[in-house]
Amino acid sequence: MRRRLLIALLCLAARTYAGDMLRAGQPFPSWQLIDHTGATVTSASLAGKKYLLWFFPKAMTPGCTVEGDGLRDNFSAFEKEGVEVLGISFDDPKANAQFVREQQFPFRLLSDTDHQLAVAVGASSGGQAVARRISYLVGADGKVLRAYDAVVPGSHATQVLNDLQLH
């Protein structure tokens, strides 16, 4: 019971924080993070590709699971659009690996344990325990195609796919 209350409060804090997000057309900052397998992933390694970075508060929590499952269930549509899906949280790679296994995610989850990228893009103020639930669709040129600051976990995948039809 106490753990559920703590998770609910963390998710509420992540949802209500209003940081400065990047806007469409702005360059997305360079980054380097570790994925759930321990491999290093960088923005440079994604140069020339479109990608979706979805920041989520906490692995294996209800809202994050719903959002991740929606992205998983629509993964082939993202592949058809040439979009790589990457999740980011403050969780360590081990927690993200468990999340990937349990939900059978076909995409990588990245660990922003020092919160640097999250702070740089408005997913955290730096003092938060969890990332704010936001996403960025980044173009092959490294610029933001779309910033999502009001993510609804159950419909986020569909929203992004609809926006991809416009780009």
Catalytic (active-site) positions? 64
Please tell me the distance from the alpha carbon of residue 167 to that of residue 152, in angstroms, as a whole number. 21
Please tell me the distance from the alpha carbon of residue 43 to that of residue 59, in angstroms, as a whole number. 22
- Judged by DSSP in three states, 11 sits in helix
Start-to-end Cα distance in the chain: 45
Q: What are phi and psi of 146, to 5 degrees?
A: -155, 135
Please tell me the distance from the alpha carbon of residue 20 to that of residue 126, in angstroms, as a whole number. 12
CA nearest neighbour of 147 among 2, 52, 5, 24: 24
The answer to whether the beta carbons of residues 127 and 135 sit under 8 Å apart is: no
